[in-house]
Amino acid sequence: MHCGCVSEGMPSVPNSYWISGLAFPDWAYKAESSPGSRQIQLWHFILELLQKEEFRHVIAWQHGEYGEFVIKDPDEVARLWGRRKCKPQMNYDKLSRALRYYYNKRILHKTKGKRFTYKFNFSKLIFVNYPLWDVRSPPPPLLMGAANMYQPAMIPTGMQSEVTAQ
């Protein structure tokens, strides 16, 4: 007996997701079939839950700061994460430790004062997966919270297959 957590793949991935009016390019969390073939990373997973309404009672975006989210049900998030990684003993204490390691990596930041509230540092996240972006060029619209200004032209829609234009 293992833990029936092998499957649960997400093959069909659109070019971008819209969350609360904000666009999420797929390259921001491409976990599957990546050149390095690594395992799913926690922040990828968090983003996954965040993009599905079915988990709104477990984890959801917060109004106000762009990228800020609240874990409404820590135990459930830990269970889901544990299932994905085949770690039945996972709990929020351990998961949050992993989250804390993101502080130095500048992927995540804690919103002090607010319980179970963290904030993504998308400027970092995007550069991590999209190093081609020039730091000196105008700030990506999706980082500013002005989703309506989202420019599809800036995102290579066929980037999943890596070998495309560019």
Partner DNA sequence: TCCGGAAATC
Partner DNA sequence: GATTTCCGGA
Query: Per CB under 7 A, does 72 bind DNA?
Result: no
Residue 139, Cβ density class (10 Å: 0-12 exposed, 13-18 middle, ≥19 buried): exposed
Question: Interface mask (CB under 7 A) for DNA, residues 99-138, using x and -?
Answer: -xxxx-x----x-x-xxxx---------------------
102-109 long-range contacts (CB < 8 A, ≥24 apart) are: 102/42, 102/43, 107/43, 108/43
**Binds DNA by CB under 7 A, chosen from 30, 72, 87, 124:** 87
Closer Cβ to DNA, 96 or 157, answer by number: 96
Q: Can you tell me the distance from the alpha carbon of 151 to that of 138, in angstroms, rounded to the nearest whole number?
A: 12
Query: Per CB under 7 A, does 83 bind DNA?
Result: no
Closer Cβ to DNA, 94 or 160, answer by number: 94
Sign for the CA dihedral angle at 148, 128, 66, 53 comes to: positive
Which residues make beta-bridge pairs with 59? Answer: 71
Query: Per CB under 7 A, does 89 bind DNA?
Result: yes
Query: Per CB under 7 A, does 90 bind DNA?
Result: yes
Q: What DSSP element (H or E) covers 47?
A: helix 42-50
Query: Per CB under 7 A, does 12 bind DNA?
Result: no
Where does this chain bind DNA (CB under 7 A)? 38, 41-43, 74, 81-82, 85, 87, 89-90, 92-98, 100-103, 105, 110, 112, 114-117
